[in-house]
Amino acid sequence: MADFVEATDTGFAQQLKDSATGLGIHGALLGFTAAEILEAEKDAKLFNYILNRLSENVAYSKDLTDYKTLARKGDGTVLLPVAIPEPADFPLPLPAATPAGIEGRFRKRAAKAKADNNYTVGIGEACRFEASHGTFNPNSGAPTLKVDATHAGHPHIQFNKGRWQGGEIWKMVIKNGGNNPPIPNPQDPSFVKLERVFGHDYIDPSELPANGATELWAYKVIHLYANDQVGEWSLVKFITVGGM
């Protein structure tokens, strides 16, 4: 049986990011605590940060080696550049440190998820706990969408990215929708394109309603591949947005 954990560091880094997003959507259903979901997010951020810095410093090492070779072996007709190559600065803020053994914790999360009665292969694929089977078909499936308001009242939109390029987010504003608005069809012409996201999450920067007023904002997303929409629309998700 194929191992579900990506063998390359680059593949594993993306797997961790996708898994953290998937657990943010499905984790509670599978019995994960908020602390366990946060741990997955921290592991993903730390490993991706390390990998990105490693890539930058591999390039730096080559530049410095070339400089050293020119300094020692140059034929004297070429002047050395005044500036000796320097390593790239590490961007701030630094990610939170986590204990060693990120892959081991990832495997334990997968085992816990698969032991839960609510686990399905579809959820496992969204959380990247299932081995890849066959050729990737970008036209198959729909994004799994989650929307919450944790950024000063502005909706935080998350969806699974997997091997897709990203997602195209569309939005509908429903004023005076009440507590139980009808769920619009994803093909409703009232939806307008909000943003193309080449990642897996986005914070809607739209102006909030007037102070004391509320509106219902509805979202849908479709995957992007080779800069085109592919697959099916996600289910529509609502959130009540209030003025601040």
The Cα 176–Cα 154 span in angstroms is 19
The residue range of the domain holding 215 is 145-242
What's the CATH number where 149 sits?
2.60.40
Same domain, 13 and 95: yes
- Helix, strand and coil content of the chain, in percent to the nearest 5, comes to 30, 20, 45
Q: Which two tokens stand for residue 220?
A: 């849908």
The whole-number pLDDT of residue 112 equals 96
Q: Which of 84, 107, 131 is the last residue of a domain?
A: 131
Q: What is the pTM of this model?
A: 0.54
- Residue that terminates a domain, selected from 103, 131, 159: 131
225 and 157 in one domain? yes
Inside any domain, residue 140: no
From CA 40, how far away is CA 35, in angstroms rounded? 9
67 in any annotated domain: yes
Reported as a single tens digit per residue, the pLDDT across 38-78 is 999 999 999 999 988 887 777 778 888 888 888 887 777 76
Q: How far apart, in whole angstroms, are the C-alpha atoms of residue 24 and residue 109?
A: 13
- State in Å, rounded, how far the first CA of the chain is from the last one: 53
Query: Is the pLDDT confidence value at 222 over 90?
Result: yes
For the cut 60, the answer to whether the pLDDT of residue 179 exceeds it is no
- Percentage of the chain with pLDDT > 90? 35
Q: CA dihedral in degrees (234, 189, 196, 202; nearest 10)?
A: -60
Burial status of residue 158 (CB atoms within 10 A of its CB: 0-12, 13-18, 19 or more): buried
pLDDT tens digits for 25-41? 999 999 999 999 999 99
